[in-house]
Amino acid sequence: MLFVIAERIFSARQVTMNLSDFGRRFSGYSGITHLMDDLAEGLAQPGVVMLGGGNPAGIPGVMSVFEDVIARLHESGRLVASLANYDAPQGKAAFLETLAEFFQQQYDWQISSKNIALTHGSQSSFFILFNSFAGNSGSVRKRVLIPLVPEYIGYCDVGIEDDLITSQEARINTLEDGFFKYQVDFDNLQVDESVGLVCVSRPTNPSGNVLTDDECRQLDEITRRHGVPLLIDSAYGTPFPNIIFSEVNPFWNENCIVCMSLSKLGLPGARTGIVIANEDVIRHFSNMTAITSLAPAGIGAEIVNQLITDNALLPLCHDLIQPFYKQRCDLALNLLRTAIGDSRLHIHKPEGSMFLWLWFEGLGIGTSELYQRLKKKGLLVVPGKYFFPGQSTVSAHAESCVRMNYVQSEQELARGIEILAQELKTCW
């Protein structure tokens, strides 16, 4: 009996956690936690149509290329060597040199390996960068400005301090055929001494919006004028993985921080992000990596280093990855137009990424409730409210939108869209 009582007391003590402010903040439930939980739940339950998560498609031709490269790395001994050794906090030196040369040759960027650092995926990059340039510093408090929302769900909760992000709603430009497009409202964009970093994604997750070259130049001029870095999140963009359907050029200079990823190339398990910035930022970033995680993973860098050396990376993106997503995007659009013949359905012009952003104008319920109804019927999407970081309230527009991915098979897309269409009939 005493043993049982003691065991219960010990178990109770184990679950009592006197968390710090940091602990409470980052153990709370967030939009990105919701998204990843749904991803895990959907994968574990046969029959669920997964139009909510952001896992890239397993494109057969791309997988074959990876398998070939990994086999060659194994045969040479470099695969095991990459797994058996730490790299430097900045990342695998050979890959940094290869990347720098790649950007010099392809885009005439004046960079060296000292301008590049690797990370454990883009999310860890944002955590370091947001909290390095924004937050309390003595008597001064800085914030991250997002000049166009909706934006990436993963930005919302990375701040160590509350209220780290401020944002501006986009201007909505109505297009033909039921499409619309978000644009930066430059007339009302406020960059002042309270802004420590300006952040955009290109293409934008969730909407597929792509900032034009001119918009990038305008943001660059504004941030330079105020002495603020411009962070461009290019997880889906050019030059790789190139899930982008409009003609734009990569953008970087000494005032820019470009974040890239190997995840949407098809290697999310490798957990490899890339940060390109001036040398001071990279030194700062590498020091923080050393403190928080010693060094980034090396296997993704080893694979892509070989692809660049073989001159195979850009053909992989241009000939396999981009056409696959464009075809799936067109298919999803056709299925939506056929299943939902209602003029109140508006679709953001799909210019890139792997998502469609749907706006149900005049919907009788919020999309948070719609999400719950669809989930019960076996369809997962993501309600729009999670994609408006830096907004103090959830707007009517945010609660009228959902994000859906289109990487699933034709059969799964058709089944999911039919579930959506049937449910919309009950609440429009």
Q: What digits encode the pLDDT tens for the residues 34-51? A: 556 665 564 556 689 999
- 207-235 residue pLDDT tens: 999 999 999 999 999 999 999 999 999 99
Cα(41)–Cα(88) distance, integer angstroms: 36
Name the CATH topology of 87-311. Aspartate Aminotransferase; domain 2 (3.40.640)
Rounded-to-5 percentages of helix, strand, coil across the chain? 45, 20, 35
Same CATH topology for 18-61+316-427 and 87-311?
A: no
Average pLDDT of the chain is 92
CA 146 to CA 198: how far, in whole Å?
A: 6
Q: How far is 75 from 415, CA to CA, in rounded Å?
A: 43
d(CA 335, CA 170): 27
pLDDT tens digits, 284-313: 999 999 999 999 999 999 999 999 999 999
Q: Token pair of 55, please?
A: 């896992």
In the chain, where the domains are located: 18-61+316-427, 87-311
Query: pLDDT by residue (tens digit) across 92-115?
Result: 999 999 999 999 999 999 999 999
List the CATH code of the domain at 18-61+316-427: 3.90.1150.10
For 390-414, how does the pLDDT look when each residue is reduced to its tens digit (9 = 90+)? 998 999 999 999 999 999 999 999 9
Question: pTM of the entire structure?
Answer: 0.91
Q: Is the pLDDT of residue 2 over 50?
A: no
State how far Cα 229 lies from the chain centre. 19
Q: Which residues pair with 119 in a beta bridge?
A: 273
Give residue 17's pLDDT band: very low, low, confident or very high (50, 70, 90).
confident
pLDDT in tens, 60-82: 999 999 999 999 999 999 999 99
Rounded CA-CA distance 118/99 in Å is: 11
Check pLDDT > 90 for residue 32. Answer: no
Helices (H), 235-278: none
CA distance 152 to 381: 15
Count of beta carbons in the 10 Å neighbourhood of residue 86: 9
Give the pLDDT of residue 30. 59
Q: Quick one: pLDDT band at residue 25, thresholds 50, 70, 90?
A: confident
Give CA–CA dist 216/255, Å, rounded. Answer: 12
